[in-house]
Structure 1
């Protein structure tokens, strides 16, 4: 099916010791990658990622081991006195999914789908967090920079790419997300290295594919897009929508190798490929801009890809992208 995750991405979250938290803080200060830090204390990179996301300071983003462990001890001692959702399984489910990056709406929608009944609403999750588990509140909203008003980009010439087809000529069947096989492509850059991520998002199923490229060149981008999409049947790779970055200059070669049709957004209209923009926003939860992507290996990238493809989406009726993709392929096959 063109998707093959070989690593053990899902593992139960276990508490860290004070010494391990000190080692994490030391590793972060030294600029080590999550995988290097995890290896040093014999933990998984996903456990370290969850620890940092959960316990870093909300304002400064700083991770301080002594304060973190003190906060954990206070949470533990106070837990028995707090009012909670009645079922212990529901409480654990909410905490685990919040740490994994799910929203209250996704948590409630998915829990209800799995049980076949209305277990709790997303409003109940919000109330539980604010009344009983304020430590989970930092997961509620992904921080975003203030956006410029649309159309307010500096007036300069967009890079010239030959033989582009405008997004305005894209068929309605693509625009409406009525059929599968239509992708959006973009790159996610790092402040600390020339390495980038090539990111692809399928418009109907919200499937995300991502791989590292050493530098943002047209040849590297072309090679990665082809490698990512080639394993899919032709029916699942029909079109690709790009922006006007020069890394997309070899779109005609991509089309030739994949049998796709390429479309290009209007200059400085990145919102016209909203699926991949949203995917990159989710990836930033795991790999913020200060991350040195040179230090991130393929296994860690696959773990993040796996996580994104297993978060339920409201637009998919709380199926995950993987589930929607598999069901869609089976239905059409």
Structure 2
């Protein structure tokens, strides 16, 4: 079969879709949404998003480049204060008729000051041309104003430092307002931080010392926006007699009493390694269990050692899922003096605090790696970093701060959410 010698230009301007792109841009200039414009020209919503936002190119699973947005700022929706091209054509026609600026504004439906500014800013040496004026105005609107984090060295340094400690953009945004209450130049909303992270080639995409396996500073590990995905956790049903969560004297949403813990394992590569996680339901304090082996005897021994320093008021119960690692739950209850309750199968919301904490810990211990490579000292460092992080649910106080106050008290008071 003979092939054509004509070459088709690659990239956003390639010939087969050039007419559709031009029509798509016209519709966007008229204020159409991305979805509506894409449907009108006969392309998918994904193609429309790529034209407006740009997209990465891959080869053999590796990022090879980035195709910039198709005149992203040019085709954005025009606000009510901007002149449309039809209005500029009408202004040019009325000016040729010799009408005054005030009369032109009245006929076009714009203020006289708007018409005066348009004729002054967008006219050329040969007079006012509507199409040239529209291109000038479009280019002026499309200029890149930049982000404050790019021009403010101190702000960029503070944000980078806190991201390196695995703080979320929301936590950083609230912290900046408290730390610099009088300096509004140091304030930054969380969305601006997300945008700075998601930009191609962002300097904020770098691993932290305690989580070197993650390039992204976000707990999701993402370097671009995408839909969140969750996988259902599946555990074998525990067979031995046990106390169920329905026998616990309070429902899962009740956190009014301190000293109730939730626990689970995060599993390593090929189910051959694990780390135990315990979190206090009210203060969200985390304690990690270094498990050389994944069995009931090891878990019993390590859990008894880690929780033996707690007074009875701070160790009232433990809630776990129905994993076989809790085969010694009766011995654990006897050793710690606290009952062990088991959740229903496939019901992770009954241990919501622990589920959320395990998600945070996956920043430091990603799925698919051998967890035996982490020492007890490394687990303690991760535990301390997580416990020192302020939480929105705790009014931006840290779990360690609240738990230390409870330990110092002879009669731990009940903290309300």
* TM-score, normalization by structure 2: 0.54
Q: Does 1:315 align with 2:399?
A: no
Aligned residues of 2:259 and 2:315 also touching (Cα < 8 A): yes
Aligned residues of 2:276 and 2:291 also touching (Cα < 8 A): yes
Q: Does 1:168 align with 2:233?
A: no
The residue number in structure 1 matching 2:337 is 259
The residue number in structure 2 matching 1:146 is 230
Paired positions, count = 254
Structure 2 stretches lacking a partner, 5+ long: 1-55, 66-144, 206-215, 222-227, 413-417
Aligned residues of 1:226 and 1:254 also touching (Cα < 8 A): yes
Question: Which residue, 144, 148, 173 being the options, matches 1:84?
Answer: 148
**Distance 1:251-1:125 versus aligned 2 partners, 3 A rule:** same
Structure 1 stretches lacking a partner, 5+ long: 1-56, 68-80
Question: Which residue, 263, 267, 282 being the options, matches 1:204?
Answer: 282
**Which structure has the higher relative contact order (CA within 8 Å, separation 6+)?**
1
The residue number in structure 1 matching 2:384 is 306
Q: Does 1:98 align with 2:190?
A: no
Computing the radius of gyration from Cα coordinates, the structure with the larger value is 2
Superposition RMSD in Å: 3.5
Aligned residues of 2:319 and 2:351 also touching (Cα < 8 A): yes
Choose 297-306 or 91-100, whichever is displaced more.
91-100
Q: Distance in 1 between matches of 2:391 and 2:380?
A: 20
Q: Does 1:277 align with 2:342?
A: no
1:64-108 Cα offsets, whole Å, 9 max, x none, are 9xx9xxxxxxxxxxxxx9542476443322111123221111112
Q: Distance in 1 between matches of 2:353 and 2:193?
A: 31
* TM-score, normalization by structure 1: 0.66
1:289-333 Cα offsets, whole Å, 9 max, x none, are 232222211111111111111111110111111112123444645
The residue number in structure 1 matching 2:308 is 230
Question: Which residue, 153, 161, 174 being the options, matches 1:109?
Answer: 174
Q: Does 1:126 align with 2:191?
A: yes
Choose 129-138 or 279-288, whichever is displaced more.
129-138
Q: Distance in 1 between matches of 2:383 and 2:309?
A: 16
The residue number in structure 1 matching 2:261 is 183
**Distance 1:108-1:252 versus aligned 2 partners, 3 A rule:** same
**Distance 1:182-1:277 versus aligned 2 partners, 3 A rule:** same
Shift in Å, 1:226: 1.0
Shift in Å, 1:277: 1.6
Q: Distance in 1 between matches of 2:404 and 2:62?
A: 39
